[in-house]
Amino acid sequence: EAGVTQSPTHLIKTRGQQATLRCSPISGHTSVYWYQQALGLGLQFLLWYDEGEERNRGNFPPRFSGRQFPNYSSELNVNALELEDSALYLCASSLVLNQPQHFGDGTRLSIL
C-alpha cells in the first residue's frame, strides 16, 4: 500500500512569491492534515480537510490556504512568501477520525 506522497520534495522561492505544495493521501483516507515544521519550533498544525471541506485551521495568517479535491488529494498554497516561511511542510492522512495520522516525507520550502 502506497503511503502519503508529497510533491515537490524541495521548493526554492524568493520573498513575495507564491508556493503550491501537493499531497496525495493513503488510498481510502479522506482526512488530510497539513503541518509546518520550522527549525526550533516543532510541528505546528496548519489546516485540516475532510470530505472536501476545510474543518479547522491553526494560528497561521490567511496567506496560508488550501483545498481538497474530490479524489481527496490536497494542495497547500502560501502567498506573499516571507523568510520565516522556510520550513518542512508535512502532510498527514487518516482513515477515519480517532485513527492515527500517517505522514508523508514533506516538502522542504526555502525562501531566499
| Single-letter amino acid, residue 82 | E
CB of 58 to another protein, least distance (A): 7
Q: Which residues pair with 33 in a beta bridge?
A: 48, 92
The site map against another protein for 1-30 (x = CB under 8 A) is --xx--------------------------
Distance CA 103, CA 4 (A): 6
Stretch that binds another protein, among 11-19, 31-39, 61-69, 78-86 (CB under 8 A): 31-39
Distance CA 80, CA 87 (A): 15
| Single-letter amino acid, residue 72 | Y
Distance CA 2, CA 7 (A): 14
The site map against another protein for 65-104 (x = CB under 8 A) is -----------------------x-x---x--xxxxxxxx
Which residues of this chain interact with another protein, rule CB under 8 A? 3-4, 31, 33, 35, 41-45, 48, 55-56, 58, 88, 90, 94, 97-106
